[in-house]
Amino acid sequence: MTRPDLAINGGPKIREKLLPYARQWLEEDDLAAVLEVLRSDWLTTGPQVPAFERALAEFVGVPEAVAVSSGTAALHTAMDAAGVGPGTEVIVPVMTFVASANAAVFQGATPVFSDVDPDTLLLDLSQLEQKITPRTRAIVAVDYAGQPCDYDQLQAVARKHGLTLIADGCHALGAEFQGKRVGSLADLTVFSFHPAKHITTGEGGMIATADAQAAARMRNFRNHGISTDLAQRAKLGTWHYDMAELGYNYRLTDFQCALGACQLRKLPAWVARRREIARAYDDAFRSSEKIRPLISRPGVVHAYHLYVIRLNLDKIGATREEVFQALRAEGIGVNVHYQPVHLHSFYRRRFGTGPGMFPVAEANFARMLTLPIFPGMTYRDVREVITALQKVVG
């Protein structure tokens, strides 16, 4: 890209300070909530943890939610609750963050990868049943970019074959499918509270479920496999505890939970703002021959954790890397989500995967970019993203 008007070639920038693709939004009430807990007697395993769990469970419409230390910990905990272990298989779409597959590997299971729909990059349901074998234990449905999967079809397949349906809803807190919120649509639904997500606890995660027995197992799993925590033992006036199963230290602190609960109250307004930004992008790119956004399906409320476009590189006359670098030179912090899991070197070595196995995901990966989208963006920020992209692609 040799045009002199581009910032990468010395031309004027659209903006001086880089606009990131995602950013947390913390207000004074968030800081006050954390400080109040820091001044209290309980920094972990205290009352803020079950309070945050109840608030999220009520928000998504299920009786149980289990807080853990990260979205990855939530995926691992859900895999254990689903009975995933050595000799079992878990179906996972390749267009996702590696943690969706890693959690199965943590349990000694084999991830069975599947390609995605070319318009939404969600799990291609036309291929799903042919992936199922007698060893299959669970299906991971990834709500890519914040758009819910077709849970009616997924539940029908899972029930037919006696499988656990795990929703990786880490992109989709606040999203809806057929009038029901993500979190109430699968057997186990995993959320992340990383700063890039819809609400944050710094690091943190949650598993939502209607299964009380699974919730009890997950609470033990996050606490070394021990059936009581310190607060419970203090209430009972006993020191005794027993590690009945192997578990992990995946606990989330009270001050993180206080932050999460405060942020959760703002979530509907923040999702609405994300959707407003997405509509502005849709309107700007609708008639473009060089920029193709993902399709939003009828019957869903898209939560827009990410806004992903595909570039028509032949018409642009540049590579994806050249467009990426040119946009960042203009002050627009575009990103790429994601390199398909089967192309990572670990999976190539361990499971013999490689290029050519999942052509839809690979073709989209080669030309995708993620544009900035987060509630704190101003109208000027949005206009500058649109202007910079139109400037760079010509």
Active site residues: 197
Give the residue among 218, 151, 205 at the shortest CA–CA distance from 173. 205
For residues 112 and 318, what is the distance between their CA atoms, to the nearest angstrom?
A: 35
In angstroms, the CA 10 to CA 41 distance is 57
| 126-157 per-residue burial string, b: 16 or more CB within 10 A, e: under 16 | ebbeebbeeebbbbbbbbbbbbbbbbeebbeb
Burial (CB count within 10 angstroms: exposed 0-12, middle 13-18, buried 19+), residue 381: middle
For residues 288 and 277, give the distance between their C-alpha atoms in angstroms, rounded to a whole number.
18
Cis peptide preceding 338, ω within 30 of 0? yes
Alpha carbon 245 to chain centroid distance?
A: 28
Residue labelled with tokens 């995993």 = 190
CA–CA separation, 370 vs 60, rounded Å?
27
Whether the CB-CB separation of 264 and 256 falls below 8 Å is answered with: no
